[in-house]
Structure 1
């Protein structure tokens, strides 16, 4: 069976091959509606399927991007990925997703693999552990956008939450509800992980603004499997906190597991606010007050920045920081 070509489509529609090519590439600026309809009908009648591989080789573009997430288990990460895929799909770009597990060696392998596959650009949740590689790519003017984390001295556009404000909002809300003994539990405070550092600094600043003494025993940064140990220590203090701020969704999961095991009542025994709005927050009993990130808007912004660089052959960027506002979702946990 003879393969249908762009020449066949052009002949049936009564237009030139270049006009059909413009239609396929969605360059409609000077194309009339009747012309578009004729080309569309010809494509459908002939069951024409464009040769995207040949087109990509000709244009030196694969219409594929890579996304390297730090930890795909985070609700935020999955929502961002979905948003990026939706945005790219509408523009005929494919997305390859890789999970680095916050491991610089894995991240390096994924960056090199995607680069070898000639993806047109990457959105990376950077570990911060591959400075030389980041610089190499920016020096080559390779399109990159960072998500969620700032890497000092690397001029790459970065999309992230106003993390300090997220903690400020949470602590202020505790205080407005009568709590002044406020603890916080964080994953390990690795310096390169922007959200954790900014959120703990926001917690400290909020206490200072309200003239509440900072108590070291009310602060824990720990691996997820040790959250229960630190929470036990905190709640067994002579003067224990009456409220706990969970610095991200995975910490919140561990706190809720501890609460259930130890039959602690929320909010009667312990008030809780989590940064990152988990999908079950509204149906958990009692429902959970959270600070939400606009993950879908953030993913769309990152994808838009990257595709603009790719399609317009723009420079990688001057290190613009695009921060998004956190949103307080008041429920029943305080």
Structure 2
């Protein structure tokens, strides 16, 4: 069948091509209601579908952005994606989501793929190992925003949590409940992932500030499949931690699996706080004290910064603009001393 064109729609509706174009681009504030109804009817009867590719070439915009997350299994990532999608939907932008699995090669392939599709900009949870690629994007003035992480030597806008403050809030809550031997468990810091490094740093500063024992054995960063074995080592120490800070939601889940399999009671045998307010925290038994990130605010901010860059491509950043968002303590049962 022959492709239905905008000319066919105009002839069928009895209006000009420019009027149909205005309608398709939603520039019809002063268009008569009857005219709009005729165009809508013509589109429906002819089965017209706009040629998105042709429109993109003409407008030099695909009205699409990419979002490359480090690990889509993180509840934080899914909430961020939703916030970005909500913001973009309001402005008639679309998003393509890619999961890099914290793999630099996979991340590079997705960046190349998205740019080949001529999308307008990318929000990235950077692995940090594609610095030369990021630099080329900066030189080309390609719109890019980092989320959850940053690369210090690059002038790229970054949206992050105040990670040290998040750890500090958790330690203060443990101390308030009388705990002195406090550990931290997080997923691997192998690639110097910003939030993991900063949360451990915040933990160390808070432990020191409260005059608590700083034990290397109380600090664990490991691949997910190694966390439970590391926990076994920690709880087998002569003076094991009385409380543990889970550095993110994936670490928290592994700790909960371990305590359940080993019949440990929370908080009687081990007090617990998790960074990331996971959806089950309030209904788990006992309920889990968490440090919440303002994920929707962070996602919307990242989307706004990127779309501002897209509409103002002539501006170039001289230094990295880092937005830090405040964490919030949500007290529940798991951090209380019984």
Q: What TM-score comes out, normalization by structure 2 length?
A: 0.90
> How many angstroms does 1:8 deviate by?
4.9
Alpha-carbon distance in structure 2 between the residues aligned to 1:213 and 1:36: 75
| 3-state SS of paired residue (2:123) | strand
1:171-194 CA deviation, whole Å, 9 max, x = no partner? 111111111111111222235310
Change (3 A) 1:8 1:109: closer
Match of 2:41 in 1: 45
Is 1:69 the counterpart of 2:69? The answer is yes
> How many angstroms does 1:118 deviate by?
1.1
Alpha-carbon distance in structure 1 between the residues aligned to 2:260 and 2:279: 18
Alpha-carbon distance in structure 2 between the residues aligned to 1:197 and 1:37: 59
1:14-55 CA deviation, whole Å, 9 max, x = no partner? 7x7556545544557xx44xx374554344232364433221
Change (3 A) 1:131 1:2: closer
User: Which sits farther off after the overlay, 187-196 or 110-119?
Assistant: 187-196
1:142-198 CA deviation, whole Å, 9 max, x = no partner? 111111111121111111111111101111111111111111112222353100111
| 3-state SS of paired residue (1:178) | coil
1:69-92 CA deviation, whole Å, 9 max, x = no partner? 111111111111122122222322
Alpha-carbon distance in structure 2 between the residues aligned to 1:295 and 1:66: 18
> How many angstroms does 1:214 deviate by?
1.1
User: Which sits farther off after the overlay, 247-256 or 232-241?
Assistant: 232-241
Aligned length: 329
Match of 1:325 in 2: 326
Segments of 5+ residues of structure 1 without an aligned counterpart are: none
Match of 2:200 in 1: 200
Q: CA RMSD in A?
A: 2.3
User: Which sits farther off after the overlay, 276-285 or 45-54?
Assistant: 45-54
Contact kept in structure 1, 2:127 and 2:191, CA below 8 Å: no
Match of 1:270 in 2: 270
> How many angstroms does 1:68 deviate by?
1.0
Alpha-carbon distance in structure 2 between the residues aligned to 1:192 and 1:131: 13
Match of 1:258 in 2: 258
Match of 2:98 in 1: 98
Contact kept in structure 1, 2:180 and 2:213, CA below 8 Å: no
Contact kept in structure 1, 2:141 and 2:313, CA below 8 Å: no
User: Which sits farther off after the overlay, 266-275 or 55-64?
Assistant: 55-64
Match of 1:290 in 2: 290
Alpha-carbon distance in structure 1 between the residues aligned to 2:122 and 2:223: 29
Change (3 A) 1:304 1:118: same
Alpha-carbon distance in structure 2 between the residues aligned to 1:326 and 1:111: 30
User: Which sits farther off after the overlay, 186-195 or 214-223?
Assistant: 186-195
Segments of 5+ residues of structure 2 without an aligned counterpart are: none
1:186-236 CA deviation, whole Å, 9 max, x = no partner? 222235310011100110111122111311121111111121222122112
| 3-state SS of paired residue (1:333) | helix
Alpha-carbon distance in structure 2 between the residues aligned to 1:40 and 1:202: 59
| 3-state SS of paired residue (1:67) | strand
1:84-139 CA deviation, whole Å, 9 max, x = no partner? 12222232222211111111111111111111121111111110101111010110
> How many angstroms does 1:277 deviate by?
1.3
Question: 1:84-233, aligned counterparts within 5 Å?
Answer: 84-190=84-190, 192-233=192-233
Alpha-carbon distance in structure 1 between the residues aligned to 2:228 and 2:151: 31
| 3-state SS of paired residue (2:204) | helix
Alpha-carbon distance in structure 1 between the residues aligned to 2:311 and 2:35: 24
User: Which sits farther off after the overlay, 127-136 or 191-200?
Assistant: 191-200
Change (3 A) 1:221 1:92: same
Q: What TM-score comes out, normalization by structure 1 length?
A: 0.91
Alpha-carbon distance in structure 1 between the residues aligned to 2:120 and 2:75: 26
